[in-house]
Structure 1
Amino acid sequence: MEALDRRRRLERLEKALLLDVGRCNKDFGLIEAGDRIMVAVSGGKDSMTLLHLLLELKQRAPIHFEVFALTLDQKQPGFDASELVRWMDRRGIEFHLVEQDTYSIVLDKVPEGKSYCSLCSRLRRGILYGQAQRLGATKIALGHHRDDVIETLLLNLFYAGQIKAMPPRLESDDGRNVVIRPMAYVPEETIAEFAELMAFPILPCNLCGTQDGLKRQRVKALLAELSAENANVKGNLLAALSNVVPSHLFDPRLLG
């Protein structure tokens, strides 16, 4: 009975996830015929769920596209991808493990007590762009979800003075790479429950998201507090990103 209940929960969650991913794909044209999509797999719940969903879509979609995974070993202490390598191999998934020591660079450049996230992210992005070109990828798929999007929106509002979030589809400045975020509509809690039931091999990160005092953690706590008062807060913030009234903002470039 327990196994049956688990299977039903998995089916329900997978259906909800695929619906959100499909809706995002329809709205922003993320996946096109002939695409070769590189999924940036960190080994966390988000990227593992994204890989699973894109492989499912590949089987069901009326168009042909390829999906493969790439993990970047940045030489962080305790990072061990061996279980992930075995998991990919057992499932016959095209997988590339790339070793680049960005950890030493981050430690050298970032003052003690400051967040590593920004520099680490920039270095990782540059490597992913280069690997996508090397491996013939037409798109780079990242595992950001709804909560990441709205947290980034608030971080930019509060700390950078910008109305800026994470777009579902973004072309790099040089036009050589296209980044897609198929799970931009997906709530984090849905991913967490699904990943736990799927028992993905999860790799801990000793740098990102574990340092006390990070601004993102403060924003996450604020959203949790507001959501306890109004369950629609996160959905409303996401909806606001596609419901902009330019005439009621201050940017002259929007008033044309």
Structure 2
Amino acid sequence: MTQNQELTKAQKYNFDKLQKKLRRNTGQAIADFNMIEDGDRIMVCLSGGKDSYTMLEMLSSLQRSAPVSFELIAVNLDQKQPGFPEHILPEYLESLGVPYKIVNEDTYSIVKEKVPEGKTTCSLCSRLRRGILYRTAKELGATKIALGHHRDDMLETLFLNMFYGGKMKGMPPKLVSDNGEHVVIRPLAYCREKDIERYTEMKAFPIIPCNLCGSQPNLQRQVIKEMLRDWDKRYPGRIETMFTAMQNVVPSHLADFSLFDFKSIDKDSGAINGGDIAFDKEDLPSSPVSGDGTSEFDPGEKLDILQVN
């Protein structure tokens, strides 16, 4: 066997391993939040970016082996930005044999007319896009709307709300749309962005640039993204631990009296969730906690998980 053949074999092994991981994480998120039910018609929002391509691949793969029957229809909103390569998605979807609909709406002109020069267009553009997608879902008879947000998007949103909005609020894997008419799901909720990036490179998806409108990226989100990526490099496992924390909320040890009845606590209430151990010297694992809240590591090892410097 030549060196090139060995490399090809290694690449195939790595690809299969990564694909199985993404598929497993997607399937687990779908099961945990009951995202897909028998007879669902799912509108898969396809932007032409790495996340939505990966989501479509995972859902198509699961569709072939899932114990329930469901339909997929890919939908792309062509907002008429100058230079938008409108042929790419139809050609790609036809090659896969995936049913699709391209929605043509000139929101670009509306945004340019309403937003002053130099101001970010993202907020108005998002509202217009959301309304059009909701309308399209109704026209198609879709029972679910699937978006390509992943685990890192959910963490970024949590920190954005804490740092800039004064709320401990993230991006849920499943919710009802703001107009109250649709169920929105995020099948990639358990998938890491860096895994999606690697998968995209291996699959060579025909990526459509996201900067065609000329708008600046959300600067606050960029700050949070860079902070999390820096933590991930300097402290491997921290991101996994933080995401696990989003699934292990203890209202009795926060300060939201609408979530926990602090007023009724008295000396007869007994210790709640361990009582007051805020000042104790805690034994914390040096590596990430698993999804079930347990650790595989020596509990005697200590780590200040709040240290960022």
Regarding TM over 0.5, the answer is: yes
Q: CA deviation at 1:42?
A: 0.1
Alpha-carbon shift at residue 207 of structure 1 (Å): 5.5
Which of 236, 241, 249 pairs up with 1:236? Answer: 241
Instruction: Tell me the equivalent position of 1:58.
Output: 63
The CA distance in 2 between the partners of 1:230 and 1:124, in whole Å, is 37
Identity %: 52
Local SS of the residue matching 2:77: strand
CA distance in 2 between counterparts of 1:128 and 1:94 reads 16
- Supply the distance in 2 between the matched residues of 1:111 and 1:254 (Cα, whole angstroms): 42
**1:138 aligns to 2:143 (yes or no):** yes
With CA pairs under 8 Å and 6+ residues apart, which has the higher RCO, 1 or 2? 1
The answer to which of 197-206 and 52-61 deviates more is 197-206
Identify unmatched segments of 5+ residues in structure 1.
none
Count of aligned positions? 256
> Residue 30 of structure 2 aligns to which amino acid in structure 1?
N
Q: Which has more helix, going by share of residues?
A: 1
Map of 1:191 onto structure 2 = 196
**Which structure: larger Rg?**
2
Cα distance in structure 1, aligned partners of 2:224 and 2:36: 31
Name which of structure 1's ranges 142-151 and 116-125 shifts more when overlaid on structure 2.
116-125
- 2:251–2:259 contact (8 Å) kept in structure 1: yes
One-letter code of the match for 1:191? I
Is 1:72–2:77 an aligned residue pair? yes
Q: Deviations over 1:116-153 (max 9, x none)?
A: 22222222111111100100111000000111111111
Q: How does 1:89-108 map to 2 (within 5 A)?
A: 89-108=94-113
What pairs with 1:1-256 in structure 2 (closer than 5 Å)? 1=5, 2-206=7-211, 211=216, 214-256=219-261
Equivalent residue of 2:130, what SS? helix
Residues 180-213 of structure 1, C-alpha deviations (whole Å, 9 max, x = no match): 0010110001001111111111111126897267
| CA drift at 1:27 | 1.1
- CA shift in 2, pair 1:241/1:110, >3 Å: farther
Kept in 1: contact 2:82–2:213 (CA 8 A): no
Q: What is the TM-score of this pair, normalised by structure 1?
A: 0.94
Task: Single out whichever of 149-158 and 170-179 deviates more from structure 2.
Answer: 170-179
Runs of 4+ in 1 over 6 A off after TM superposition: none
CA RMSD of superposed structures (Å): 1.8
Q: What is the letter of the counterpart of residue 107 of structure 2?
A: T
Distance 1:131 1:5 in 2: 43
Deviation for aligned residue 1:154: 0.7
Measure how far apart 1:101 and its partner are: 1.4
**Which runs of no fewer than 5 residues in structure 2 stay unpaired?**
262-309
- Of 199-208 and 161-170, the range deviating more from structure 2: 199-208
